[in-house]
Structure 1
Amino acid sequence: MEVLNKLVNPPSSNSKDMRAYMQAILEVTGLMSGQKYPLEKFMSNYGTHLKPKEKFPYPTLNKDSEGMYKLTLEGVRFFSSRLTDEPIIKGQLVTRDEVINMIKCLVADSPREGWVKISV
């Protein structure tokens, strides 16, 4: 059984902190490398990623009948672009340092204040 940490109160949906948190989750869970994962362990609403966006006409995630999520090919491209100087959706930049700091919180042996352990 895998044990990770999650934020008790996730950052606001369109914030830089949320982008760093989401990117860290995608990397730690293996989603960026083609794995499936029950993302709802971290947050409850991924609906905006299951359908095309106004500024990106593709879903970035698929959810199967067992509740497991997988990134679409377009999703890998979309989330990877956030780490570049020119993200697909302008303004959605996140730095590698911000993602690494979130990864450290996700995998820490003891959850930091505002974080709780989860088992998958």
Structure 2
Amino acid sequence: MAAILKVTNMDEGQVYPLNKFLGNFKTHLDNDRISRVEGGYQLSSKGKDYFKDRYSPNSRQHVEVSEVEIMIKGLTTGVGFGDWEPLL
């Protein structure tokens, strides 16, 4: 998810139609981390903090920056492990 947020610039407040490739993000909607807005979905302040926390080594759902960078490459180029479809 961290890579998707970066590639779509949602981590910077941009709106993106997440339902183009994610079928279930209801939990994030229900917990006010993502909001429906005109043109798609947008991270709330709560959502930005929630996903930013994943970079913290103390997070139970910690993610390494290097792992996110690998995912970003797959999302933007279609090159990676297995069959990738470029997101943009």
TM range (shorter): 0.7 to 0.9
Aligned partner of 2:4 in structure 1 is 25
**For the aligned residues, what is the CA RMSD?**
1.7
What SS class does the counterpart of residue 62 from structure 1 fall into?
strand
What SS class does the counterpart of residue 51 from structure 2 fall into?
helix
The TM-score with structure 1 as length reference comes to 0.65
| 1:84 maps onto 2:56 in alignment | yes
Q: Is the 8 A contact 1:38 1:67 kept in 2?
A: yes
Q: Which among 99, 102, 120 is matched to residue 68 of structure 2?
A: 99
Q: Is the 8 A contact 1:50 1:62 kept in 2?
A: yes
Fraction of identical pairs, as percent: 38
- Segments of 5+ residues of structure 1 without an aligned counterpart are 1-21, 53-58
The TM-score with structure 2 as length reference comes to 0.87
Q: CA–CA distance in 1 between the matches of 2:9 and 2:87?
A: 16
Question: Greater relative contact order (Cα 8 A, min sep 6): structure 1 or 2?
Answer: 1
Higher helix share: 2
